[in-house]
Structure 1
Amino acid sequence: MKAVVYERYGSPDVLELKNIEKPVPKDNEVLVKIYATTVTAGDWRMRKADPFLVRIFAGLFKPSKVKILGFEVAGVIEEVGAKVRSFKPGDSVFADCEFKFGGYAEYKCFPENNSVIVLKPSNVTFEEAAAVPIGGLTALRFLKQAGVKTGDNILIYGASGSVGTYAIQIGKYFGAHITAVCGTANTEMVRSLGADHVVDYTKTDFTQLDARFDIVFDAVGKTSKPACNKLLKPGGRYISVKGNPKRNANDLLFLKDLMESGKLKPVIDRKYTLETIREAHAYVEGFHKKGNVVVNVTGG
């Protein structure tokens, strides 16, 4: 099968398209033919070993634990293990690869576990479904950790990125009032997702707003709690993607339900292929993407 492999840390040029052995599912696993994956910040940071702590996880001098990147996928189950009961060949699914990665390939095995793989809603494409697990789960888990509830005033800094676009929609689902901070080019897009108020950071320093918020969510990891303290109401919560939110086994199913009901719609900025994945990495690393960048692997 075709897969994008990296054997050393560095620029997008370290990514190489190769032919490798197709995986075989264990008794409790399913084999997914991947139709689409994405390029996330986690992918390029692993590729570049930025921050340095990546090397502690992946390999000090070169990547040894992970050779194929790709954090999230969507595709069709081709084969199931002898003990699998929840899925069957032909099922359309989307999945969170977690820190095993492996999405930049034509096939990947997943355990039969609805915390990482679930059936794809019929009302979204494979490209859209592939873009949900990482950004969607991150937004959901941080907002739940902050105790989001009806009537909350939430400020989302970095509202036009993957996590930010999902945070707007999930916050609205929970009945919150959303103030979105983004650049000029993305103001209309975040409004279309449900933002009640939009702050253009190129024209206004959002940290100097007079409004006060129940939750300030740094969805890109570029500000800090001290910088945002004056924005918080007494008892208000500051959350950042630099943190580590608590996971729930039903989170991916929750996002599936939101998509099926039309309350969650992935934003796709650009589309690439495995052959052009170096260009995709360079673009995402530039910090200017809107929502998600998708890579078409096969079919779909």
Structure 2
Amino acid sequence: MKALQIKGYGDVESNLAFNNIENPSIKENQVLIEIFAASTNPIDYKIIEGLLKQVIKLNFPTGIGYDLSGIVRETGKSVKGFKVGDEVFSSVPQESRSSFAEFIAVDENMVCLKPKNLNFEEAASLPMVGLTTIQAFKRGNLKAGDRILIHAGSGGIGSFAIQYAKNIGAYVYTTTGTANVGWVKELGADRVIDYKTENYLDLVKDVDFVYDTLGEQFTIDAFKVIKVGGKVISLIGPVDDETAKEFGLNLIARIYLYFKRIKLTGKIKEKSAYYKLISMKPNSEDLEIIKKLVEENKVKSIIDKIFPFSESVNALLYQKSGRAKGKIIIKMK
């Protein structure tokens, strides 16, 4: 089969190659999926560029891509929930990362029937952003009546998170650029802050929850806008010790990360706050939540652009540009 693979660390264009490799063989608890569509995520280009070397170790060449939708072509002996011909969607864990390919073997408990009202491209846009947000909001116990700040509301994560937070019943602040203010409002955000003309730090005060999708100074500044006892759940901020243990980091690495987050630790103590770097775990139960939300028209797929499989590198470069409004799709079929 044809697969896009990472051949080394460095810039995106120079370190990706299409290779012909053997079709994956499945274990008893797995299904073989013919991939019809995949979607890009910021983690894809960050892995290539070596920005995650501390927590993600690679042996080259290696696969790339997490999100996918397609059709089950083979089932393992112990698989009960799927049959050949089922249309499904999934996001795979780090060790199975290889959705920019023609076929993939996936554990049954990480697969879900795709929403009936979506095509393959639309279904492929949802797994990682949906799973990450659902698990982040569970971890932060977001509930009706809470006030939440969601950064980068026009991105793939932000556009899903706004819809999901409104479905829960939260009051949503979000940030975006001038050109996207109108359509982000249409997603349901209560207060859309145009970062080109407004400073969110002047407008957002004493919120219950910050969903930090940007990292760096935005992570530190989150503690300026949460209330005492508030919560900051980050996708890209410093690694907390709980997450370091989840990644299986040794004591020396954890001590290094402890000193690296000293400033953040001070901010957490000042606000008696809860902070967590979320590490998404693929599972069919949370995919079922996404499926139900979509089929009940409570959440919709937001797609910016669709690239053919042959232009996967361009799709990743577009992801890195930060200009996408919603998700970027790679169409296999």
Work out whether the TM-score is over 0.5.
Answer: yes
Q: Which runs of 5+ in 2 are unaligned?
A: 237-276
Matched, 1:289 2:328: no
In structure 2, give the amino acid aligned to 1:91: D
1:35-50 aligned at under 5 Å gives the runs 35-50=36-51
Q: Supply the distance in 2 between the matched residues of 1:248 and 1:75 (Cα, whole angstroms).
A: 17
Amino acid at match of 1:160: S
Deviation at 1:246, TM superposition (A): 7.3
Is 1:264 matched up with 2:299?
A: yes
User: What percentage of residue pairs aligned between the two structures are identical?
Assistant: 34
* Offset of residue 234 of structure 1: 2.9
Seen in structure 2, the aligned counterparts of structure 1 residues 222 and 266 have a Cα distance that, compared at 3 Å, is farther
2:102 to 103, 106, 110: 106
How well do the aligned residues superpose, as a CA RMSD in angstroms?
Answer: 1.8
Match for residue 277 of structure 1? Answer: 312
Equivalent residue number for residue 84 of structure 1: 79
1:7-37 Cα deviation digits (max 9, x unpaired) = 2122222221222111222222111000000
Distance 2:128 2:312 in 1: 18
Contact 2:201 2:224 in 1 (8 A): yes
Letter in 2 for 1:288: R
Residue 67 of structure 2 is matched in structure 1 by 72
Please give the per-residue CA displacement for 1:38-62, whole angstroms capped at 9, x wherever unaligned.
11111111111124425xx333xxx
Query: 1:74 Cα shift?
Result: 0.2
Q: Classify 1:246/1:291 alpha carbon distance in 2 versus 1 (closer, same or farther; 3 Å).
A: closer
| DSSP-derived class of the 1:58 partner | coil
Deviates more, 1:223-232 or 1:28-37: 223-232
Please give the alpha-carbon distance, in whole angstroms, between the structure 1 residues aligned to 2:2 and 2:279: 34
- 1:245-269 deviations in Å (ceiling 9; x for gaps): 5758522211111111111112111
Q: In structure 2, what is the equivalent of residue 134 of structure 1?
A: 128
**For residue 194 of structure 1, what is the amino acid of its counterpart?**
G
Query: How many correspondences in the alignment?
Result: 290
Q: In structure 1, the residue corresponding to 2:38 is in which secondary structure? A: strand
Partners in 2 of 1:248 and 1:83 — Cα distance?
Answer: 20
CA gap of 1:246–1:103, structure 2 versus 1, over 3 A, is closer
Q: Quote the residue 1:252 is aligned against.
A: 287
Q: 2:210 aligns with which of 198, 206, 216?
A: 216
Matches within 5 A, 1:1-300: 1-13=1-13, 14-53=15-54, 57-59=56-58, 63-64=59-60, 67-99=62-94, 100-113=96-109, 116-209=110-203, 211-242=205-236, 243-245=277-279, 249=283, 250-298=285-333
Contact 1:161 1:220 in 2 (8 A): no
Deviations 1:53-93 (A, max 9, x none): 25xx333xxx43x7110111000001112222110011000
Q: Shift of residue 210 of structure 1?
A: 5.4
The residue type paired with residue 332 of structure 2 is: V
Match for 2:166: what amino acid? K
Secondary structure at the aligned position of 2:175 is classed as: strand
* Structure with higher helix content: 2
Q: Is the 8 A contact 2:130 2:290 kept in 1?
A: yes
- Counterpart Cα distance in 1 of 2:131 and 2:2: 28
Amino acid at match of 2:167: Y
